[in-house]
Structure 1
């Protein structure tokens, strides 16, 4: 619920007779420690005046129009990056240039400082553009790595900013971190060093941003945006307002102040491996995705070519379990346009949520904390501008999910999720289903939704134990996919079994207790495979007693396939499929012989699936590798 309190705040020279609701006179300051201030209208910090937010303190404002803050004084707030001098953080500044006139102003890295004391800071050194490596002490920033990305779709369309103050309010920007350490502690009570290694603290100083903030988007293109305020924001409210979806959990879009259809309902967060190289073809990273319905899905990590396109070789995937509903000060992220328009931030999305709170996450940082939060846990009271009673909302996501992971070519991972709640459809719904990051990637494991040709990383739908949920596999060259259930999330208990059903071979692969393991040729398989929660065909694909009924031996020297009927079962049929699902051989009513042999010398080299069906309808499948000596 909304609270209008001032706690542990020192005021010096605060003039109540000024026109602004909060006015800091020249040479005076306001200091806050581990609290928040709520100002219902505007703030005016006069030249040489200062407003210090320290030890997780934040400023909330309730204005409903354009930004109205004024004054040439500075608000000062700390935030830490999470990478070294070779990796990027995505940022969005909470302040702009401190100009006297009312309104929000552009930002540049000259507004970044190194904390040296409780209120004292030293301006960062801006290095020459030929110097690519920032340092922690003294704080020096390499402007070569300051870029923004506005309504674009290709790597070449990143816009260089450098040290210029041309980052408009609400726009995000990239910035690499620093090398070295800095053990300076600006506030003894907080006891946080400026840099313990790959975690640089910056002092953002300038006029605080507030009010309605819009950034242009365009259909199908990405834009780098972020949290533009000196407080946390409820990302669910932002995404729901700019991408109205099912009104199952959060009310209508009007409840969050806007009914705009400008973006696809997903926030995209950059994750990167520490590879200690500035060369693009050495980068390893990708975008994790967040929606209000499904939460955070870790990034698929890729190598990159020198032109920014994906390399076919995957690397180990993102490990972050991020709870990004309450997006911290300074956090940048991508959104993708769903038409020409704007993505709009509003004061009503602002909340006071410390990054140290149990479900919050510091600036796009990996953590070992489990994402499976107790489904019965509710939020404590969270001060906020909109008047939301968070104590009635679960920390968990309402849609129980299964997390799926595909191991690719013995070297990398692809993630997706399938979740269920009443009222969701099989088609695309904003804020619930997560589109794939880029259809140009050479390998994809994805959810298939009705009414769209797009690929999806997550899908929320209604549960039916008798239903199949289609999934797809796409690859530019022959690729081995090994898929399993990696985790049950948010109280999933709808089924004790999970299978991938190959509709061409009618084989069911148990992916809860075993692994779907198949090498597919180049192509896009949109209709062949589905997730099911019942094995209606009876095919057994995990080691058990029935699977031991048959042994399959391929003699490639003699070009002969031998099937041993160890239990002397009555064989109804034996079939052989290639990896594309094409039926190669079909023999029926074979009796109960000890063994059967079939010539394979004329077959092409590759992996094949042998399926045996008994007269009492037990199905066993095994794979063989056939090649010519």
Structure 2
């Protein structure tokens, strides 16, 4: 008799439920696909039966007759001849042979198996004919899905009475005998497993028993009066708990009510048809006709929430899920199965993002996100597709796992310069090799966002300079990475489209041959997730990049790689290349520079002046780098004095759209809006000071007020310059050149040194580029220590001709003009100002013809502490003051102008 064994669920159920057999890590699992439906099948040949036989499943042939299976023989399945089922079985049987042949041999065996021999799981090969004599014991060693594969180069036979014994969870479903010739079983053979002849006939003589299948790619199959035995019970469909049912169940196939079934641990109940009800746990069981463990089955403790799409495509519509909208408040396993209805879409509404604890998307299924985000807090298994359209992003929490066995991919877009002469510095949010990728493997042309196509890569440096084409062209000549080096240009390594780049590393790439300002690219691959680490040595440069399919918080990245013991590895400053001018492949003709970001803020890229006859004047169009680093953006860091591990991690990830103004990709287009959203909460006062000179187009330096800083160098806040031009200006800190400085006060008496260098001399200018979060009355001045004069730069340039040289101690940024030192009785522009501390009054006297309108009093931080509206013709005015002792500035507004004076209150 021939009995089909079926330990695995159908393919659809495998995609939806956890495997319940554990993992046989030594051998890839052989997948029979539609062959599982058959007990006897041949692709080309007749099938015949002599006398009485008992068949458990279908009998089929794709070319031949089936005879001899009438009563009293019993067929529990059906007979299939030359139909769609047998055509598919033909394809799957060929694939099964390929799978088996592709397994790696673990042991070469002599031609004779048996004679009391015991074998453990593995792949056994015999180059010629082979046979079984006596008893062969197959010991699975307690591994319920352990595989035994026998690859036989010639004919395969058994001696009369030969017996295959299975112990310790060995299963006929996981035993494969592949013969290169005919298979013949002598009388009274007791056999287990899948017998496959490729090619050749298969036969079983009188009194034989097979628990398994008889299969042939080309050949007849014949059986003769086989005895019926009690079959080994196996697991069929598993039903997991739901949001309304706390128990699960599983069906025992080949259930025999006359047998006794023992479960470990105990189950809730077993019905007369073999349906077992059980609480969440892992169960093994035996039956009275078997002394070995049969299998194990898992009833998960987590509820499965299925997408149905019954109401619409809206992810956030409870009617589309069996257990309601996914959230982070439960431990459900949320599954988007293969469905005939629509797949879910997370729409673009601001309050319509997605959050899920555990998500599984099987092969063929998909999730689309439109200008929004999906956050996975625990586990993501992706065999299908997540399409991240527009500014959509995928986030995973700290500790959230991306299942490494996933075979699916995400698709995520980013736009770069469309100019084939200009660089963008990129990173990849996906991988194609676990912890690495090649550009060719992950990058697609996304000119049509609904039709991503392969890119035409060429090695010539002008390959992408031609006219527009489809597919787009990219020159691999300009694709480089810089990995942990202090050697400058000589350390750049060309990676082209085929060399490996690590996750977290950046790379350079010039634009395509598009006619548009920007080129849309699509990254396709497995999303990077979790901790990603790279090593930098002391004072070395490293081109890194945001490795995730979401923005990252630059402040958090700096903090994670800085001040805590054992974490410091970089100087705490990030540098972003922006290439905004110069349509040439000649380096000297580039219009470009490095934007800088620290926890003190960001400053725009600076550039040397235009090249006569080659390029016009240029300046940054993207402005200062922002706190949130967008998808695909690369940047430089520098190793600190010790170097160490650079770490990216999920706690740095955040959903920040580029058009919000808080996240900016350093490409040449500046069409995106700059409105802020709720991520922009930086209210610190910032002073942006600009500098122009003959050998620099423009330099901006930043001064930020932050209570966490000092006047000394503060790690992560004060940022050294990454490049210094022949003519340049900088903050002087610890005898070094800084482009960003943070301090904890802007006192009236404070003087902050500015360094200036000029190679050949000439006219230099200093001005205020911008004031952020500053009071309306704020004024900034440049003090010249040589002349003793101060110059108001709030609304006008301070310009001066300088000789060639370096000026470290001449110029200072100050917060008040150089006021005349006057005695209390001296008239200043017709006004006498006197602080009478004996009676705590500010006293003002005016001369005839001058009318006092308003009086304001400011503290040493520049904050207004008192204001009076006077508007009187009286000659003497007294103003009571009750304030803390200290220095203050009085500003008196008259009909002829303003008067300033420093006073002391005590």
TM bracket (short chain): 0.5 to 0.7
Comparing 523-532 with 322-331, which one deviates more in the overlay?
322-331
> 1: CA distance between counterparts of 2:774 and 2:758?
30
- Shift in CA distance, 274/476, structure 1 to aligned 2, threshold 3 Å: closer
Listed as ranges, the matches of 1:549-628 within 5 Å are none
1:220 aligns with 2:539: yes
CA change 1:26–1:513 in 2 (3 A) is: closer
Q: Give the CA deviation at 1:170.
A: 0.2
Q: Residues 414, 355 of structure 1: CA spacing in aligned structure 2 closer, same or farther, 3 A cutoff?
A: closer
Instruction: Give matches, 1:119-198, under 5 Å.
Output: 120-129=451-460, 131-133=462-464, 137-153=470-486, 154-181=488-515, 197-198=516-517
Which residue of 2 is the match for residue 190 of structure 1?
Answer: none
SS at match of 2:557: helix
8 Å contact kept, 1:242–1:259 = no
Q: Given that residues 478 and 522 in structure 1 are in contact (C-alpha distance below 8 angstroms), is that contact kept between their aligned partners in structure 2?
A: yes
Compared CA separation, residues 32 and 317, structure 1 to 2 (3 A): closer
Shift of 1:412: 1.6
Instruction: Measure the CA separation in 2 of the matches of 1:234 and 1:432.
Output: 15
Partner of 2:800: 518
User: What is the CA–CA distance in structure 2 between the aligned matches of 1:446 and 1:370, rounded to whole Å?
Assistant: 30
Q: Could you tell me how far apart the structure 1 residues matched to 2:621 and 2:779 are?
A: 26
CA distance in 1, matches of 2:718, 2:447: 46
Change in CA separation of 1:347 and 1:496 when aligned onto 2, cut-off 3 Å: closer
2:668 maps to 1:335: no
Paired residues of 2:605 and 2:623 also in contact (CA < 8 A): no
Equivalent pair of 2:688/2:700 in contact (CA under 8 Å) = yes
Q: Which residue of 1 aligns with 2:764?
A: 481
Answer whether contact 1:146 1:160 (CA < 8 A) is retained.
Answer: yes
SS in 2 for 1:13: coil
Q: 1:488-499 counterparts in 2 under 5 A?
A: 488-489=771-772, 491-493=773-775, 496-499=778-781
Contact 2:659-2:672 within 8 A present in 1 as well: no
Q: 1:411 to 1:267 in 2, by over 3 A?
A: closer
Matches within 5 A, 1:220-259: 220-244=539-563
Contact 2:721 2:739 in 1 (8 A): yes
Q: What's the secondary structure of 1:448's corresponding residue?
A: strand
Greater relative contact order (Cα 8 A, min sep 6): structure 1 or 2? 1
Q: How does 1:188-587 map to 2 (within 5 A)?
A: 197-244=516-563, 260-294=567-601, 296-302=602-608, 315-322=617-624, 324-338=626-640, 339-364=642-667, 367=670, 379-380=677-678, 395-409=680-694, 412-439=697-724, 441-449=725-733, 452-461=734-743, 462-489=745-772, 491-493=773-775, 496-536=778-818, 538=820
Q: Once superposed, what is the RMSD of the aligned Cα atoms?
A: 3.3
1:366 to partner: Cα distance: 5.4
Determine helix, strand or coil for the equivalent of 2:558.
helix
Distance in 1 (CA, whole Å) between partners of 2:768 and 2:524 is 47
Report the counterpart of residue 595 of structure 1 in structure 2: none
- Contact 2:693/2:728 (CA < 8 Å) preserved in 1? no
Structure 2, gaps ≥5 residues long: 1-313, 321-334, 340-356, 822-827, 829-898, 900-906
Deviation at 1:418, TM superposition (A): 1.8
Q: Say which of 349, 356, 371 aligns to 1:34.
A: 371
Deviation of 1:231 after TM superposition, in Å, equals 1.2
For the residue of structure 2 that corresponds to 1:155, the secondary structure is helix
Which of structures 1 and 2 has the bigger CA Rg?
2
Q: Post-superposition shift, 1:94?
A: 0.4
Paired residues, number: 470
Deviation of 1:229 after TM superposition, in Å, equals 0.7
**Displacement after TM superposition at 1:402 (Å):** 1.6
Instruction: Indicate how the Cα distance of structure 1 residues 488 and 405 shifts in structure 2: closer, same or farther if over 3 A, else same.
Output: same
Contact 1:133 1:178 survives alignment (8 Å): yes
- Of 336, 355, 373 in structure 2, the residue corresponding to residue 11 of structure 1 is 336
| C-alpha displacement of 1:266 | 1.8
Distance change in 2, residues 1:25/1:119 (3 Å): farther
* Cα distance in 2, alignment partners of residues 304 and 315 from structure 1: 5
1: distance between equivalents of 2:438 and 2:316? 30
Q: What SS does structure 2 have at the residue aligned with 1:530?
A: strand
CA contact (8 A) 1:217 1:343 kept: yes
CA deviation digits over 1:248-303, x for unaligned, max 9? xxxxx6xxxx9722112222111123322111121111001112322x21111126
Tell me, in whole angstroms, the C-alpha distance in 1 between the residues paired with 2:422 and 2:510. 5
The partner residue of 1:107 within 427, 438, 443 is 438
Q: Is the 8 A contact 1:52 1:119 kept in 2?
A: no
Question: CA 1:213–1:423 in 2, change beyond 3 Å: closer, same or farther?
Answer: closer
Secondary structure of 2:555's counterpart equals helix
> SS of the residue aligned with 1:399?
coil
Please give the secondary structure, in 2, of the residue aligned with 1:123.
Answer: coil
TM-score by length of 2: 0.48
Structure 1 residue aligned with 2:129 = none
Deviation at 1:234, TM superposition (A): 1.6
Q: Secondary structure at 1:122's aligned position in 2? A: coil
Question: Does the CA contact (< 8 Å) of 2:580 and 2:668 recur in 1?
Answer: no
State the alpha-carbon separation in 1 of the partners of residues 667 and 446 from structure 2: 22
1:58 aligns with 2:377: no
Q: Assess if the C-alpha contact under 8 Å between 1:316 and 1:413 holds in 2.
A: no
CA distance in 1, matches of 2:494, 2:316: 42
Render the CA deviation track for 1:442-480: whole Å, top value 9, x for unaligned: 22200112xx22101121112211121111011233243
Q: Residues 274 and 11 of structure 1: is their aligned pair in 2 closer, same or farther, counting only changes over 3 Å?
A: farther
Q: Is the 8 A contact 1:506 1:537 kept in 2?
A: no
CA distance in 2: counterparts of 1:426 and 1:435, whole angstroms: 15
Would you say the 8 A contact 2:368–2:389 is kept in 1?
Answer: yes
Deviation string 1:37-68 (CA, Å, 9 cap, x unpaired) is 2223443334xx33322233221112438975
- Note if contact 2:610-2:617 (Cα within 8 Å) is conserved in structure 1: no
Cα displacement string for residues 413-448 of structure 1 (whole angstroms, at most 9, x for unaligned residues): 111122223342111112322211124x32220011
Distance 1:130 1:323 in 2: 29
Partner of 1:132: helix, strand, or coil?
Answer: coil
Once residues 356 and 412 of structure 1 are traced to their aligned partners in structure 2, the CA distance between those partners, rounded to angstroms, is 27
Is the partner of 1:458 in helix, strand or coil?
A: strand
Give the whole-Å Cα distance in 2 for the aligned partners of 1:279 and 1:79.
27
**TM-score, normalised to structure 1's length?**
0.68
